[in-house]
Amino acid sequence: MTAEASPVLLVGCGKMGSALLSGWLAAGRAGPQAPAVVVEPALSMATFEGKPGLRLVRDPAGIPADVAPGVVVFAVKPQGMETVVPAYRRYVAPATVFLSIAAGRTLGFLATHLGADAACVRSMPNTPAAIGRGITVACANQAVSAAQRQRCEALLSAVGEVAWVGDEALLDPVTAVSGSGPAYVFLLVEALAEAGVASGLPAELAMRLARATVAGSGELLHRSGEAAEQLRRNVTSPGGTTAAALEVLMAKDGLSALMTRAVAAATKRSRELAG
């Protein structure tokens, strides 16, 4: 079996793990030609039962003895990593790379539990991965080969864009911007709807307008070749209604300053969680 076809061992199949697995199946990176073993204690995986090439087990003891994974993906909650990771130290080998999507768990943490020789990649995806529109930023340790890096990128790119950084410290602001970012966008929808209600709109209509506007604007940004700044200018007529609103949002204490403080707070918290 080639390195590219060696099994993927997915540890954890919650929301993000399920998003990854769905993306792999759709892209042919898991299935008959790319076997995968999924370890999930809850086994709430009816969507994946009976899929060719997948083996679903409740715990590490259920993993077939002859499985030699090319990639071990940790998709469990950060607080569970300390008890989960050591059980997979038996798979440390030059041909195996460990890919973690657990927020705040550093490469150093992985080395502590897997050994200094383990090839490890730490990554930070975000929730739009559930619809194949996520973005993941990854950082590899020195033991990761070029081929292992490519395979990790192939797995991550099944659910969206992938970027790499050489400085692991950058994953803290990455977490603050893209990892936590979807929550900021959803809050914008809530705030826009509430502002509409305050201006006299019925609540249902205000929320409908806010949802459609943010979703449509995001899709326009996705499809357009123009920068966000230019798209903003395209909507803004001098002396018009948009300009009046932007005078408030772009004031010295407006949205930019507020977002800078928010991202700084999230970055600080990410560093605290990483220890």
Q: What domains lie within the chain, and their CATH numbers? A: 3-169 (3.40.50.720), 181-274 (1.10.3730.10)
Q: 147 to each of 2, 67, 151, how far by Cα in Å?
A: 12, 20, 6
CA separation for the pair 95, 119 (Å, rounded): 9
Q: Is the pLDDT of residue 143 over 50?
A: yes
State the pTM of this model: 0.91
Whole-angstrom distance between the N-terminal and C-terminal Cα of the chain? 40
Q: Given this model, what pLDDT does residue 221 score?
A: 97
- The single-letter code of the amino acid at 237 is S
CA separation for the pair 73, 158 (Å, rounded): 14
Q: Is the pLDDT of residue 259 over 70?
A: yes
Mean of pLDDT over the chain: 93
Tell me what percent of the residues of the chain surpass a pLDDT of 90.
Answer: 83
Complete DSSP assignment for 170-204: GHHHHIIIIISHHHHHHHHHHHHHHHHHHTT--HH
**More confidently predicted of 230 and 51:** 230
Question: pLDDT class for 4, splitting at 50, 70, 90?
Answer: low
Q: Given this model, what pLDDT does residue 53 score?
A: 85
pLDDT, tens digit, 9 for 90 and up, residues 38-58: 998 875 666 787 788 889 998
Question: pLDDT class for 33, splitting at 50, 70, 90?
Answer: confident
pLDDT, tens digit, 9 for 90 and up, residues 96-135: 999 999 988 999 999 999 999 999 999 999 999 999 999 9
Question: pLDDT class for 31, splitting at 50, 70, 90?
Answer: confident
Range with lowest mean pLDDT among 47-56, 155-164, 165-174, 201-210: 47-56
What strands lie across the sheet with 54-57, from one edge to the other? Answer: 54-57, 36-39, 8-11, 71-74, 97-100, 119-124, 134-140, 160-164
Would you mind telling me the total number of residues written for the chain in this entry?
A: 275
Q: Given this model, what pLDDT does residue 44 score?
A: 62
Q: Which residues contact 257 (CB under 8 A, 6 or more apart)?
A: none
- Segment 155-180 mean pLDDT: 96
Q: Where do we find the tokens 């090839």?
A: 119
Q: Is the pLDDT of residue 142 over 50?
A: yes
Q: Given this model, what pLDDT does residue 1 score?
A: 44
